[in-house]
Amino acid sequence: MFELIFLGTSASAPSARRNLPALLVKHDEFRFLVDCGEGTQRQILQSGVGFKRLNRILITHAHLDHILGLAGLLSTLMRWESMEELEIFGSAGALERIHDLLYGVVLRKNSPPVPIHLRTLTPGVFFDEGGLTVSAFPVYHRGSDSLGYAFEQKGHRPFLPEKAEALGIPPGPWRRNLVAGQKVQLPDGRTVGPEDVLGPFRPGTRLVVVGDTGEIDSLLPVCRGADALVMEATYLDEEAEMARQFSHMTARRSAELAQRAGVRQLFLTHISRRYREKDVLQEAQSVFADTLVARDFDVYTVKREEGSSED
């Protein structure tokens, strides 16, 4: 299960009700901040989520509306928060610009109070811990060396206590070992295997965050079957030519990706202040009904439906 906290949902410039891009993804004890637009630290405070364990920041690309908040956030963390280290993940091009921002503007010649690690990513898994993997994948957006991120819980075979009871397996290490996939010998001498007490394999919940993009065909494989897709919708279809010119999505095209990929829920963000929210939603839902337009401070839970599986 994932929790999404939308901290900024505007495109390019803030509006009266929408701040610049930032999304917090939570899973158990892990927290990942995806992008950090100007004003993100205030959004974090206003949302009530706080700065605790906010030490992993994933950057989709280096356009200023997605990274300028790093300067203020780092300044605040240096002065007021206790943190052992800060990791910032992104492409080589994005991290080069972030390095100039942090070390050239915020820190200058000073050393950071905690280690700052700029982690250059290539496509593939870069985080694997506690039953969660996070992987990066390439995204086309005006030659900006962009990345998207896929979060996935590891699948499992559920333990069926009724089968364990029927077989007379006592609580304790026998059941724990069976859940771990090991055969066990019971106190009465019988041998029982995991297949005797475990149900069919259940894939874990999968969340895909794309960020800004100018095309969708290359995204189909990574989005296919996702439980949730977070996607931009900077333009409406009436300005599709402008969307192509600036390498952005219309609400319709984002919905087309969701429909083609068979995702379960589409969250639209990066909304231009030139449009009314209801018009963005109407255009997307005409193609893909399970669409929501995210607002600042919206909180959503993403989890795999019981009984669902990958096609």
Q: Active-site positions?
A: 65
CA distance 238 to 275: 11
Q: How many CB atoms lie within 10 A of CB 179?
A: 16
User: Is 61 known to sit in a ligand binding site?
Assistant: yes
CA distance 14 to 9: 9
DSSP state of 166: H
For residue 38, what are the contacts with CB-CB under 8 A and spacing of at least 6? 14, 19, 20, 64, 65, 68, 69, 72
User: Is 270 known to sit in a ligand binding site?
Assistant: yes
Residue 88 carries which side chain, given as an amino acid letter? I
Element (H, E) at 74: helix 69-80
Radius of gyration of the chain (CA): 22
User: Is 63 known to sit in a ligand binding site?
Assistant: yes
User: Is 99 known to sit in a ligand binding site?
Assistant: no
For residue 115, what are the contacts with CB-CB under 8 A and spacing of at least 6? 84, 85, 86
CA distance 40 to 17: 14
User: Is 156 known to sit in a ligand binding site?
Assistant: no
Q: How many CB atoms lie within 10 A of CB 150?
A: 18
Residue 32 carries which side chain, given as an amino acid letter? F
DSSP state of 305: P
Q: Token pair for residue 288?
A: 């893909």
Q: Which residues line the annotated binding site for Zn(2+)?
A: 61, 63, 65-66, 141, 212, 270
- Binding site, annotated residues: 61, 63, 65-66, 141, 212, 270
